[in-house]
Amino acid sequence: MAYQVRWQLVGRSGQPLDSGCLGADFCTYGDAMAVVAEFLRPYPEVNRCPTESYWLARRSCEADLAVWVWIERDEIKEPTGAISVAMPSGRVADQSSVLLPN
């Protein structure tokens, strides 16, 4: 089983503007979570929607743009085990509960 970290840039009205994936497929949920934590680090406004399992991040509460980030499980693909060079897994995974409120 592999995990993908996906993002969607949206306007104030919720209109999709752009989307993509962060890194490659990840072997474990912890590795994918570490990428989410590192991606969301520069955003001062981060909220978690536990019912739909995504994070919403903005530069400020008045910002016109927001980014949604979520982790998808892909049971068909074989995980590559690749983690982006810019996103270390160990230290960030330990801090993910601090960085991302539920």
Query: What is d(CA 20, CA 99) in angstroms, rounded to the nearest whole number?
Result: 22
Residue 30 tokens read as 């912890």
Question: Model pTM?
Answer: 0.69
The crossing angle, in degrees rounded to 10, of helices 90-99 and 29-40 is 60
What is the model's pLDDT at position 10?
A: 95
pLDDT over 60 at 6, yes or no: yes
Q: Which of 5-14, 45-54, 61-70, 83-92 has the lowest mean pLDDT?
A: 83-92
Mean pLDDT computed over 49-78: 88
| CA gyration radius, the chain | 13
Average pLDDT, integer, range 46-69: 93
Confidence of residue 87 (pLDDT cuts 50, 70, 90): very low
Q: What average pLDDT does the segment 85-96 reach?
A: 36
